[in-house]
Amino acid sequence: MSLKPPPLPLSDTLRDLALLRAADLDLAAALPLAAVSSPGTAESGLDSAAAAEKRSGEHEIVQQSVERSYAFAREARAVIKLLNRGDVDKEGTKLEEVRERLEDVLQVLDEYEELQ
């Protein structure tokens, strides 16, 4: 049985937190209000079965949020790797060359139209 890496490597977590801070992102805004409310005040009038059901629902909301967060972090890392490899610049250069060629073709067509 192979050893699994820790679920939240410190270096990745710190990098992700730095990116979130740089993006000036409010994490509390990403969660629904039901998940953010304090459990003591929200359950004061409910019986224990209803309170347990509500906690279960809130747990699912938080779990879904965590899964979306992991997916976002994976995508962000993939984009950063793509950017660092220079693929974006290469594709941008190709697009610029194609645009220049199309402008040349358009210019020739305009000149031909003027001669007609």
Residue 92 inside a domain? The answer is: yes
Residue 18 inside a domain? The answer is no
pLDDT tier, 74 (very low <50, low <70, confident <90, very high otherwise): confident
Number of domains observed in the structure of the chain: 2
Q: Is the pLDDT of residue 39 over 60?
A: no
Whole-angstrom distance between the N-terminal and C-terminal Cα of the chain?
78
Q: For residue 71, what are the CA distances in angstroms to 51, 53, 75?
A: 30, 27, 6
pLDDT at position 43 is 45
3-class secondary structure, 63: helix
- Amino acid 116: pLDDT: 80
Structure token digits, residue 16: 């992700």
Which of the given ranges, 23-27, 55-59, 98-102, has the highest pLDDT on average?
98-102
| Domain contains 10 | no
Q: Are residues 96 and 68 in the same domain?
A: no
| Pair (67, 97) in one structural domain | no
Please check the confidence at residue 12 and state whether its pLDDT lies above 70.
Answer: yes
Contact 20, 27 (CB under 8 A): yes
Q: Which domain holds residue 90?
A: 86-116
Separation CA 28–CA 62 (nearest Å):
11
pTM confidence score: 0.37
Instruction: Check: CB of residue 65 under 8 Å from CB of residue 27.
Output: no
Tens of pLDDT, residue by residue over 16-26, are 778 777 777 67
